[in-house]
Every structure is written in structure tokens, then in C-alpha cells.
Structure 1
């Protein structure tokens, strides 16, 4: 079992605070919810105008963690590559679910709950519940 230090909790609180602040800034300055899937899906939609802020937002999602890893000299964890077809299937199911629920954990969980949206609260509870069920089933029933 991994032991957590007070530094771990501080960094988690700092990271969560930065996510919240960025969501507030995006809503205030652009008038948009910081829903990562919605932003990404809009880039794939030919009817949607591809505004440059969407590309900058997604680039920041990639470069931000890379910068933190460089500053703190943290190792980049290995991606699970033992079952690529399962990873692709999981990604497609997740994409389908986010499209079906009109949002993802960032849109519903961070922004929607903060706005007391009942739809977002139900969606987030559903995400979490099925996440717990999936981990339990894979770990304890299937043995992965």
C-alpha cells in the first residue's frame, strides 16, 4: 500500500484548486463550461466553428502536466499497453457515454456540480458508481 504524505495532500489540493480556478476563469472570460469532451467533440464537428481557444485549451492540458513533470523531475508513468484492443474499446465506450450524457467528468463533475445542476449531480454519481463497480469487478471478480 502506498503511504501518502502531507506534501501529497497539499499537491492534490493545489491541483484541484487550479482546476477550479481555471474553470471559473474560462466561464468568466469566454462564457463556456470547461468540459473537455465538449471542447474536443466540437473540434471534430464540421458544423462548429473551430475557435483557436479550443486548441490552446487542449494544448494546455497536454503541456501543463509535462511542465510539472519537468519542474519536479517526476517520472512519467508507463501507459498500460498489455491489452490495446481493450483500451480502444474502453475509450470508445467512454466517448459514447460522454456524448450520451452531454458531458464528461470535467463538465459535469467540476463545473456542473459547482452550479448545483441536478443533471450534473446525477451524471457524476452515475460516472462514479459505474467506475467503482468496474474496478471491483475487474479486480475482485475477474482478477485483473
Structure 2
């Protein structure tokens, strides 16, 4: 196994965190809604009130268009390196989908919004996400050597 090194990017991480937090606050102010990415996406692709689709489409479009903004500002697309195979990405996505379903939300809904509201359920969900994430990374990198 070649060592997988995680880039330490405190400034970019801070800017990203501020943008996520600001978007969560703005969504709450404008729509009175919690910003959970999976809930936004599922509400966009499932049938429901049509008046609810506009802000959801705008949020998803904003999430997708981020790299295009980087391209416009810097002249190059951001480099994304995924140090695992496509089957591993698919398995990971499937596992995340199961967790989101059983956890009634994702890290943006529970970790950002729920924690800010001091929701006990969100604190428990976020702690569970983090413990499972740490354990998964340990097993994949140090036990399986992937």
C-alpha cells in the first residue's frame, strides 16, 4: 500500500465551513427549513408540493456549480483525488445511503444544523457518524491495507 496522505488545508476548510454555515442560516431565515443535503435532494426528486421544488433546485444547483466558480476565479478546475477504486466508492456511497436512511438525516442536517440547535438526537447522530467514520478509515487503511 502506498501511503494515503490527507492534505491539511485550514484556510480552505475555514472558508468552506463559513459558506456552509452561512447557507444554513440563510435557508433557515428565508424558508424556515433545516439544511440537510440528502433531505433537500430527496425532496427535489420525489413527488410532493411543487412550490417546494424551486429552493431545492437552487440549493442543488449551487452545490453542483461550486467547481465552476473555482474555474471562473482561477482558470482551472479543482483537483479531486479519490485514492480508492470505483467499486469502493460505490460501496461507500451505498453504506452512506443506509446510514442517512437509518439516521434520519445526513451530516449537514445533523452535524451543522441539529448541533447548532442543541438537538440531542443530532448530537447522538453526529457522534455515531464520527465513531463509525474513524473505525471505517482505520479498518480500511490499517487492517485491510486498501
Q: TM-score, normalized by length of structure 1?
A: 0.85
Aligned to 2:117: 115
Q: How far did 1:54 drift?
A: 0.6
Aligned to 1:59: 61
Structure 1 unaligned regions, length at least 5? none
8 Å CA contact retained: 2:111, 2:123: yes
Aligned to 1:126: 128
> For 2:143 and 2:24, how far apart are their aligned partners in 1?
38
- 1:1-144 matches, within 5 Å, as 4=8, 8-47=9-48, 49=50, 51-73=53-75, 75-78=77-80, 80=82, 83-144=85-146
Q: What do you get for the CA RMSD once the two structures are aligned?
A: 2.3
Q: Quick one: structure 1 residues 83 and 11, their matched pair in 2 at CA, closer, same or farther if it must change by over 3 Å?
A: closer
Structure 2 unaligned regions, length at least 5? none
8 Å CA contact retained: 1:112, 1:120: yes
For these two proteins, the number of residue pairs brought into alignment is 141
8 Å CA contact retained: 1:42, 1:48: no
> For 1:66 and 1:9, how far apart are their aligned partners in 2?
22
Secondary structure of 1:51's counterpart equals helix
> For 2:15 and 2:71, how far apart are their aligned partners in 1?
15
Q: Which runs of 4+ in 1 moved over 4 A?
A: 1-4
Q: How far did 1:83 drift?
A: 3.0
> For 1:97 and 1:20, how far apart are their aligned partners in 2?
23
69-78 or 132-141, which deviates more: 69-78
110-119 or 65-74, which deviates more: 65-74
